[in-house]
A and B are shown apart, each in its own frame.
Chain A
């Protein structure tokens, strides 16, 4: 008979082993999916690797895709620590892009660059934070389920973006395409590696990771959200203000997602359009979980999943492999990861010809 037995402590090696195995199995399941479509998976993965990591330029594109993932996942880790399910980074990212674009589109191109970019950074963070405060308030005061409210707000944000892009924000010179006028130079984030699209946003991401790490490890706020996440009732008994902490955590999470949206429009595409890749908001959830909510570890997984995304864009064009393969691989990774957490808390015991034990004190 096989059964699970409780572990006294979680081993660190499992924290490395399980995500690694999850990724390997995810890639294998992806290979089966590709094979079923009648395509050679080895060729696809080869092309994907080349498309993601082979040259300085392709690796820079991986970093470009990793940047929003680093920013968003750093913020998500703060709220996930307290078991608050912000699924709304998608919408917060869009609002950040919209708020910051307003200044790029409607303010003078002659404003000094430093002032313009500072305003846009703040606007992006405010836009994301405002969109995040709505579900935080609803949850904190009325106990409205945040999974549902954040998700619905994603769709609402997307339609606001469409409304603007088919309306007054559309460039009259765009021949009817839903594009804003191109951002002037003073509204473009400087690029930090020549001949690539890697921009200041990556530095923002690194700063965000350090700040979040410090917040979680070294401050009273970090301590409180951990306690709330583990046992909200105990937190209340201890006199912690749960509502206040939810709101602060969501402001941080939303602001970082909004900043990611700002970085995308100001640092990468240099205009506002409907396709600004808000799906980073969902991928960042996977990043945060793979890292077991550690912001520093998360930045490495962001580079991995960023590579998967940028490699997949390449093979979509060169090999006609639909981008959906990323979803198949990512979901397989998540299923294995979530399903394996039981091994962190329990060990497998094979009772062969032994009488049944009472459990806990047993060691192999």
Chain B
């Protein structure tokens, strides 16, 4: 293979990781909310909130890391609305999540007009990880990225550890499987669900903020363009496991990067069909993943979407 091809491929995979990062954060967040028994279909809304506040605060402070934190918080605070409606008031989680999406898209359209098409003055800088970045292929793809990408690796690994190897993880899983039994074990079901729903929002905000701070550093109305829904689909693909989420996120990041690359080099396939690819493939993958999940007898957390009422026997 010639050197030029090599460089193109590395650039493509590297872009795949960046696009995948916008999905990896929200997917991990939703995995933990669902593990606690809360279905939050508001990921798209929380992501766009994170994207908007991430962009605006970066623009004003000229510091992408403060911007990122603002986006993370915006996602988390949005999630608290859903937490209150679905945990305290035991409302329908499907409708509440949809309302959250409508809210995020409406809010950012309403306040975002004057920011449209502005470009961020700063972006996160790339930094190579010593030693690791020297590994052939893997190095330039995974370890010549920015700090926010590295943070996402750490989040995935740490969250996997927490989920399967700690008491917190045991309690979390119990809450989603059987809230009454978890309660009997001494777990505070309400607090657990509140916290992980909030956490899910923080990470959805992170995914959105990464989009406007690093991957596409400008603001467009509705620019998350369904990434939140793809993240929800990836939760099933990942079988509720944060490490599997990495595989799913980079796979879809890859498709996204590929279709952009193909458009850039001007292939004759119409751009509308290329744009369709990630959604079409998500649909196909979700069908396959559902079938595999059934064969393997892995299931969604048993009490996903079911409110808990401590006083009702």
Report the Cα distance A306→B82, complex, angstroms: 26
B85, B100, B110, B276: the one within 8 Å of A33 (CB): B110
- Chain B, range 263-288, C-beta contacts under 8 Å to A: 270-273, 275-276, 279-280, 282-283, 286-287
Q: Does B152 contact A (CB under 8 A)?
A: no
Chain B residue with the shortest CB-CB distance to A288: B95
With both chains docked as a complex, state the minimum distance between the C-beta of B70 and any C-beta of chain A, in angstroms: 17
Q: Is the CB of A163 within 8 A of B233?
A: no
Q: How far is the CB of B270 from chain A (nearest CB, A)?
A: 6
Flag if A324 contacts B107 (CB, 8 Å). Answer: yes
A323 and B102 alpha carbons, distance in the complex (Å): 12
Which one of B84, B94, B95, B286 lies within 8 Å of A144 (CB-CB)? B286
Q: Which residue of A lies closest to B309 (CB)?
A: A4
Known contacts A85-B94, A334-B98, A149 near B270 by CB under 8 Å: no
Instruction: Name which of A98-106, A151-159, A227-235 contacts chain B.
Output: A151-159
Chain A: which residue is nearest B275 at the CB level? A159
Question: Are A155 and B276 closer than 8 Å at their CB atoms?
Answer: yes
A334 neighbours in B (Cβ, 8 Å)? 95-96, 98-99, 102
For A287, the chain B residues whose CB sits under 8 A away are none
Judging by beta carbons under 8 Å apart, are A341 and B107 in contact? no
Bound Cα distance from A129 to B98, whole angstroms: 23
Is the beta-carbon distance between B94 and A143 smaller than 8 angstroms? no
Q: Determine if B91 and A142 form an interchain contact, defined as CB atoms under 8 angstroms apart.
A: no
Check B85 against A339 for contact (C-beta < 8 Å): yes
How many whole Å from B10's CB to the nearest CB in chain A?
29
Indicate whether A196 reaches chain B with its CB closer than 8 angstroms. no
Q: Does A354 contact B (CB under 8 A)?
A: no
Asked if B290 and A145 make an inter-chain contact with CB atoms under 8 angstroms apart, the answer reads yes
For the complex, give the distance between the alpha carbons of A55 and B287 in Å.
51
Question: Does residue B79 face the partner (Cβ distance < 8 Å to A)?
Answer: no
B139 interface residue (CB < 8 Å to A): no
Contacts of B312 in A (CB 8 A): 6
Q: Which of B11-39 contact A (CB under 8 A)?
A: none
Contact across chains for A155 and B226 when beta carbons are under 8 A apart: yes
Is the CB of B232 closer than 8 A to any CB of chain A? yes
Q: Are A330 and B279 in contact (CB under 8 A)?
A: no
**B residues 83-118 touching A (CB-CB < 8 Å):** 84-85, 89-92, 94-96, 98-100, 102-103, 105-113
Known: A327-B105, A334-B96. 17 other contacts (CB 8 A): A37-B110, A145-B236, A145-B286, A148-B232, A151-B226, A152-B230, A155-B276, A159-B279, A285-B98, A322-B109, A324-B110, A328-B107, A330-B102, A334-B95, A335-B103, A341-B89, A342-B89
Residues of A within 8 A of B270 (CB): 163, 166-167
Roughly how many angstroms separate A93 CA and B177 CA in the complex, as a whole number?
A: 38
Counting chain B CB atoms within 10 Å of each CB, which of A3, A142, A323, A324 scores highest? A324
Residue of B nearest to A341 (CB): B91
Residue A162 lies at the interface, judged by CB distance under 8 Å to chain B: yes
Instruction: Using CB atoms and an 8 Å cutoff, list the residues of chain B in contact with chain A.
Output: 41, 81, 84-85, 89-92, 94-96, 98-100, 102-103, 105-113, 226, 229-230, 232-233, 236, 270-273, 275-276, 279-280, 282-283, 286-287, 290-291, 294, 309, 311-312
Q: Is A325 an interface residue (CB 8 A)?
A: yes
Inter-subunit contact B89/A339 (CB<8 Å)? yes
Residues on the B chain within 8 Å of A6, using CB: 312
Q: A331 contacts the other chain (Cβ, under 8 Å)? A: yes
- How far apart sit A341 and B85, CA to CA, in the bound complex (Å)? 10
B103→A328 contact, CB < 8 A: yes
Considering only CB atoms, which chain B residue lies closest to A144 in the complex?
Answer: B290
Residues from chain A with a CB closer than 8 A to the CB of B91 are 338-339, 341-342
Main secondary structure of the interface of B (DSSP, over half): helix
Known: A4-B311, A335-B85, A335-B99. A325 touches B272 (CB 8 A): no
Kindly state the separation between the CA atoms of A152 and B234 in the bound complex, as whole angstroms: 12
Nearest chain-B residue to A320 (Cβ)? Answer: B113
**B311 to chain A: which residues have CB within 8 Å?**
3-4, 359
Complex: A142 Cα to B284 Cα, angstroms: 13
Contact with B along A335-351 (1 / 0, CB 8 A): 10011111000000000
20 contacts between A and B (CB under 8 A): A138-B287, A142-B287, A142-B290, A143-B290, A148-B236, A152-B229, A152-B283, A155-B229, A159-B272, A163-B273, A282-B98, A322-B113, A324-B106, A325-B110, A327-B102, A327-B109, A334-B95, A334-B102, A339-B91, A341-B89
Q: Is the CB of A155 within 8 A of B279?
A: yes
Give the Cβ gap from B63 to chain A, nearest Cβ, in Å.
25
Task: Give the complex CA separation of A340 and B100 in angstroms.
Answer: 16
- Report B-chain residues with C-beta under 8 Å of the C-beta of A331: 99-100, 102-103, 106
Q: In whole Å, how far is B238's beta carbon from the nearest beta carbon of chain A?
A: 13
**Nearest 5 A/B pairs, CB to CB:** A327-B106, A324-B109, A324-B110, A331-B103, A159-B276
Q: Which of A85, A144, A325 has the most CB of B within 10 A?
A: A144
Which residues of chain B are within 8 angstroms of A341 by Cβ–Cβ distance?
Answer: 89-92
Q: Are B110 and A338 in contact (CB under 8 A)?
A: no
When C-beta atoms are compared, the residue in chain B nearest to A338 turns out to be: B91
A59 interface residue (CB < 8 Å to B): no
A117–B60 Cα gap in the complex (Å)? 55
Please name all residues of chain B whose beta carbon is closer than 8 Å to the beta carbon of A342 when the two chains form the complex: 89-91
Known contacts A328-B106, A342-B90; A156/B81 CB under 8 A: no
Given the complex of chains A and B, what is the CA–CA distance between A87 and B41 in angstroms? 11
Asked if A121 lies at the interface with its beta carbon under 8 angstroms from chain B, I say no
A147 CB within 8 Å of chain B:
yes
* B286 to A: closest C-beta gap in Å: 6
Contact, CB under 8 Å: A338 / B95: yes
Closest A residue, CB atoms, query B300: A145
Q: Which residues of B contact A327 (CB under 8 A)?
A: 102-103, 105-107, 109-110
Nearest A-chain residue to B100, judged by Cβ: A331
Q: Given A4-B311, A87-B98, A338-B91, A148 and B229 touching (CB < 8 A)? A: yes
